[in-house]
Structure 1
Amino acid sequence: MEPLDTPSVVVCRGLTKTYGAGDTATKALRGVDLDVRPGELLMLVGPSGCGKTTLISVIAGILDQDRGSCALFGQDLARLSHRERVRFRGRHIGFVFQSFNLVPCLTILENVAVPLLINGVKRAEALRRAKRHLDQVGLLDRVSATPTQLSGGQQQRVAIARALVHDPGLVVCDEPTSALDHGAGAKIMDMLKSLAVKNNRALVIVTHDPRIFPYADRIAHMDDGVIQETSLQTVSDTPSCA
């Protein structure tokens, strides 16, 4: 992890987000302050419904906050137009969704190439880079398979390759091990730790899975729409989920 005086990748100040209005309004975020530094693996933990997924969706530019600010790499996303935000997200952010969000009619090679194609990379080059990333996650022999022909753990690896293929500075993961057994969860976290947290890339993981806590550099504890505390993780750098 980078020294404490290194400029943060993510700076959130006073974030609020409410769903609905009147008597049915739900306050998901109630004034969140959070910093994420380059080279850091930060885990966001807390009970269901406490605002974790809303927070990472705001950080990733998928949702708008009601109040407060969220800057990524010094850029306040609220100041960008919709088109500019989509372009910024496509260049700087990788997202690993809990449900993977792979396109079933595409091969896994094509799925991984999608972020590059969106960013204007020519198809041949995009497929070449996608193949290299599938090799890194151990799926080079399955490039022609479709998502439905893979196990859940294999689909997760495809989602990770897709999140990293355009070399983003920030990777956000929503429950990457929730559907996996101990051994598969350990392999996914080893992969994320080795592939994502390098070259000063930052990684934010939302999780309910205490087995993977030792992989974190810091753990942000969230409840009732706010960060209650942030603690340093001092467990060994080579944990095992098995």
Structure 2
Amino acid sequence: MNPSRRPLIAGNWKMFHGGRKGVELAQECATFAGGLPGVDIVVAPPFTALAAVASVLEGSPVGLAAQNVYPKDEGAFTGEISPPMLKECGCSWVIVGHSERREHFGERNTFVAEKVAATLQAGLLPIVCVGESLAQRQANETLLIVKQQVDAFLDILAQSKAAVAIAYEPVWAIGTGKVAGPAEAEEVHAAIRTWLSTRDEGLAARTRILYGGSVKPDNAAALLACPNVDGALVGGASLDAGSFSAIARAAAK
């Protein structure tokens, strides 16, 4: 990690803990986060738990993120949630373009870019996800695919002065127990930083690039030691306060 950028550890709860369990987990996160002043910690519960978790986290150092957003402020879009709704609910972050949204719901790069723009317009910070599939990695297309994904929203980020985050999440490593090694992760993170720098030096300097893909307490330290890895987007391990806090402590070191 670069000491000029505070590490960011974000927990994506996915479709778990949408009620009382989410409130209890948020309380545990608020407790341990108080002892880690050098790390930014964010949790992303399901929509059903956002308001309750926001209440629990009020006054704590833990930020609140939504797992998804629809790129319109209001309208006849049954079942969707707008950026202003999320902000009013207490969110400051939104996960955008997660690989599961791309894979299971057909979200294309252009739609992800629309979400990034709408999120920033509402005064929220996106954690924009990019990453390649196993077949693409085996075909040596990792950087090609990731660059296409980044290029879709690069100009939008450059036009904003917000300190956003990009999460590199190799699709083949999400929830599989597989993980990109530190060298593999750093290669992609460094490439993303270079693309940002080519567009705008300030953008490259302020953007935190997170690694996401089966991050656990036993591999977090090695990944977070990479120069261009500024934190982690944590999936399954964020559902356990002990594991999540261990990852956050690794970032603090």
TM-score, normalisation: structure 1? 0.43
Structure number, greater radius of gyration: 1
In terms of fraction of residues, the more strand-rich structure is: 1
Going by fraction, where is helix more abundant, 1 or 2? 2
What is the TM-score with the length of structure 2 in the denominator?
0.41
Where relative contact order (Cα < 8 A, 6+ residues apart) is larger, the structure is 1
